[in-house]
Amino acid sequence: MQKKHLQYTEAIKVIKNAILQSRYKIAVLANRELLSLYFGIGEYISMNTRNRFWGTGAIEEISEKLQKELPGLRGFSATNLKNMRLFFEEWHNIITNRQPSTADFLTDENQEITIRQLSTAELTETQKEEFLSVSFTHHREIIRSCNTLEKRLFYIKYSAKEFWSIEKLKSQLKSHFFDRQGKIINNFTNTLSEHDFRDRALRSFKDEYLLDFVNLKDPDEENERVFEKEIVQNVKKFIMTLGADFCFIGNQFRLVVNEEEFFIDLLFFNRSLRCLVAIELKNGKFKPEYFGKMNFYLSALDEYFKQDHENPSIGIILCKEKVNKIVEFSFRDLKKPMGVATYKTASELPAEYKNILPDAESFRKLMN
C-alpha cells in the first residue's frame, strides 16, 4: 500500500505540473492575442484621430456604443482605447516594419482593423518573448513612466522574469529601479571570486531604497530600533522594495560567539544569489566603524550558519546618508563582501520645502 501511495503521490505531482504548465502556456497565448488586438485597434484609432478623420469626442462615443453593442464588454472604455492608441504609437517603429499610410483608411467601406502577429527584427528572441508575456496593463505603466527603449525593455524583462504584479511594477518605477540598479557602492569585485555570483550580486542591490511605507514622527530623532520595527511590521513591502528573491529570516537575529550574544538587525536569504544577506540599519550618516561590526557578523554567519552549497554571506549597511569617498576608503583591505545604500521614508520632506510649511504644532494652532 505504501508503495502505491508513493506512486500516486508522484503521479499527482506530474499531472499537477502538466496542468500548471498548460495553464501558463494558454495564458501566454491569450496575452499575445490580446496585445495583437490592442495594437491593431490602437493603429486604427491613431490613423483616424491623428489625421482628423474623426471629430472631437469620437473615442468617447465609440466606447459608449461598443458597450451597448456588446453588453458586459470590459477593457474598452474611452481611456483604455486611448491607451491602445498610445501603445501602437509608442511601439509601431519597433513592432512593425511598415508604418500605415492614409491610403489604408480612405473610405468607411475599406476600413478594416489588421491584427498583426507582433514580431520584429529589432528585438532579440528573448526580448520578444518577454514583450509578449507581459500584460497590457504592465505595458501601459511602463510606457507612461519610461521614455527610452532601454528602460522599457528593462522593466518588461523584470516584469516577465520575476512575475511582477502591477503593484510591484509601480513600486519599482516609483523608486527608479532602473537608474539605481547595480550601482550600490560595494567591494564585490575584490571579495567575490566567482564571476557569475559576483555579477548577480552587483545586479541585486540598489544605491538607494524608497521606503515610503515607513512613517517616522521625526526621522532625525528616531533611533534604529523604531526604524527596524516599522520595517518588520511592513516586511512584505520591504521585500518588494528589495526584490522578489529575498526571503525574510528574522530581525535581531541572534549570534553566539564564545558564549557572548550578538544581534543582526535584519537577516534575509536571497534565492538567486543562494546566500545569507545581513542588513544593518543606521539612522544617520555612514561611519567607517560600521564595517568592522558587519565584517564580524559575516564571519560568524559563514562559520556557524552558511551551508556548504551556499555562497558567502553579504552585508549591507542601510543608512540615511553617505559620503562615497569615505565609504570607498573604508572598504580597503576588507575581505568580506559588503555594500552601503541609503534610504528615504515617507516622513522626509525635501530641504527646500521644510521652511515653507508650518510644523505640526503651529499647524494645530492655526486650525484651532
Residues 6+ apart with CB under 8 A from 153: 123, 127, 130
Domains of the chain by residue range: 2-177, 179-352
Q: Where is average pLDDT lowest: 10-19, 28-37, 82-91, 338-347?
A: 10-19
**pLDDT for position 213:** 84
Task: Please report which confidence band the pLDDT of residue 218 belongs to, taking 50, 70 and 90 as the band edges.
Answer: low
**pLDDT for position 196:** 85
Q: What percent of the chain has pLDDT over 70?
A: 77
Tens digit of pLDDT for each residue in 299-337? 999 999 999 999 999 999 999 999 989 998 998 888 999
Q: Which fold does the domain 179-352 belong to in CATH? A: Trna Endonuclease; Chain: A, domain 1 (3.40.1350)
| 263 alpha carbon, distance to own chain's centre | 30
Tens digit of pLDDT for each residue in 223-235? 788 889 989 999 9
Average pLDDT value for residue range 338-349 = 80
pLDDT at 106 over 60: no
pLDDT: is 123 or 133 the higher one? 133
Count of all residues that appear for the chain in the document: 368
Q: Is 193 exposed, middle or buried (0-12, 13-18, 19+ CB in 10 A)?
A: exposed
Encoded amino acid at 65, one letter: K
d(CA 48, CA 32): 25
**Residue 165 grid coordinates:** 504584479
What is the overall mean pLDDT for the chain?
81
Tens digit of pLDDT for each residue in 172-193? 898 788 876 667 889 998 899 8
pLDDT: is 68 or 82 the higher one? 82
Average pLDDT value for residue range 255-264 = 94
Return the closest-CA partner of residue 204 out of 316, 50, 75.
Answer: 316
Is the pTM higher than 0.85? The answer reads: no
Average pLDDT value for residue range 201-215 = 86
β-sheet bridge partners, residue 315: 278, 338
**Residue 347 grid coordinates:** 516622513
d(CA 234, CA 215): 11
Average pLDDT value for residue range 144-153 = 91
Task: Please report which confidence band the pLDDT of residue 125 belongs to, taking 50, 70 and 90 as the band edges.
Answer: confident
Tens digit of pLDDT for each residue in 69-84? 888 778 889 999 999 9
